[in-house]
């Protein structure tokens, strides 16, 4: 677990977030970046702007002759973080000879990258064919608020949000590309359950940002929302491009964690021991 960024003085009591639910065009990296920058430039009154997974590239990279990955230091990415707020933007990252499904955390003083840890490769998903999984779970300090970025399928692995919160995260930012489908149950309903479970059991705000539109025969259902640590949906979008602003009350969150200290014991030594035993059994 790595910590990036620096808190600006005392912990902040409110974090203002702008959610951008977009419809990126597959392979139109320049156009997608330009449209994102135009939207972000209008968000100067917020602390954090969040975009969907792979917002700069589109999802079905196997339909392209070249995925056109970007370096984390690409000037076009940097410009997204030059307008005031910190920006979380999903992109295809070129890291030396490796390519990752990643989210950049961009701002005047910060440059962090979270790489997707669990890459689905079954049914219509082929991410292992295009990406190398990440190996670190980062924590970022944005305007004095601690957050972690958990990309799509990583939230379906209970250990990932658990680790993020026990490393200090107060906000989980979840950029996704989720299509209309069924995984035992309707995928949108499963997401609703997973998001609510994370918010309630880990006592955190959850910022879920899905994309919309149709690409390579897949329809993305949107439904971007922000959920409070009490399980309240503070704002939510439908299946069309859209955006909203919401204020997260961090003092409310911190008071809840004091009154109901569900996170007071991580039992990290037990988890480490159990994980070691599991690894031995698998090997």
Q: What is the pLDDT of residues 145-181, one digit of tens each?
A: 999 999 999 999 999 999 999 999 999 999 999 999 9
Percent helix, strand and coil across the chain, each to the nearest 5: 30, 30, 40
Structural domain boundaries of the chain?
A: 13-282
Determine the pLDDT at residue 283: 63
pLDDT (average), residues 232-236: 98
* pLDDT tens, position by position, 27-53: 999 999 999 999 999 999 999 999 999
**CA-CA distance, 134 to 263, in Å (whole number)?**
26
Angle at 137 between CA 136 and CA 141, to 5 degrees: 125
Distance CA 263, CA 218 (A): 39
The mean predicted confidence, pLDDT, of the chain is: 94
Chain CA centroid to CA 177, Å: 10
Phi, psi (deg, nearest 5) at residue 115: -100, 140
Q: How far apart are CA 279 and CA 273, in angstroms?
A: 10
CA–CA separation, 246 and 199 (whole Å): 16
User: What does pTM read for this prediction?
Assistant: 0.94
Q: Contact, 167 vs 159, CB < 8 A?
A: no
Q: Which CATH number is correct for 13-282, 1.20.1260.10, 3.40.1710.10, 3.40.50.720, 3.60.110.10?
A: 3.60.110.10
pLDDT in tens, 52-83: 999 999 999 999 999 999 999 999 999 999 99
Task: Give 5's pLDDT tier (boundaries 50, 70, 90).
Answer: very low
């Amino acid at each position: 677990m790595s910590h990036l960024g620096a808190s600006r003085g005392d912990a902040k009591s409110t974090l203002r977030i702008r959610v951008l639910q977009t419809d990126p065009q597959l392979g139109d990296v320049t156009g997608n970046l330009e449209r994102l920058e135009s939207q972000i430039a209008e968000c100067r009154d917020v602390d954090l702007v969040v975009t969907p997974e792979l917002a700069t590239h589109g999802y079905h990279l196997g339909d392209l002759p070249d995925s056109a990955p970007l370096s984390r230091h690409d000037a076009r990415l940097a410009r997204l973080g030059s307008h005031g707020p910190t920006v979380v933007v999903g992109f295809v990252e070129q890291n030396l000879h490796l390519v990752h499904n990643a989210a950049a955390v961009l701002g005047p003083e910060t440059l962090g990258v979270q790489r997707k840890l669990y890459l689905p490769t079954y049914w219509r998903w082929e991410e292992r064919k295009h990406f190398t999984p990440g190996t670190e779970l980062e924590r970022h300090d944005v305007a004095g608020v601690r957050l972690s970025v958990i990309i799509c399928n990583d939230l379906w692995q209970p250990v990932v949000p658990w680790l993020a919160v026990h490393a200090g995260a107060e906000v989980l930012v979840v950029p996704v590309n989720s299509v209309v489908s069924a995984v035992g149950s309707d995928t949108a309903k499963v997401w609703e359950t997973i998001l609510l479970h994370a918010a309630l059991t880990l006592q955190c705000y959850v910022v879920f940002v899905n994309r919309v539109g149709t690409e390579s025969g897949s329809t993305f259902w949107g439904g971007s929302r922000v959920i409070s640590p009490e399980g309240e949906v503070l704002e939510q979008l439908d299946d069309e491009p859209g955006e909203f602003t919401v204020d997260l009350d961090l003092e409310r969150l911190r008071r809840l964690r004091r009154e109901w200290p569900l996170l007071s014991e991580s039992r990290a030594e037990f988890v480490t021991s159990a994980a070691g035993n599991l690894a031995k059994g698998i090997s």
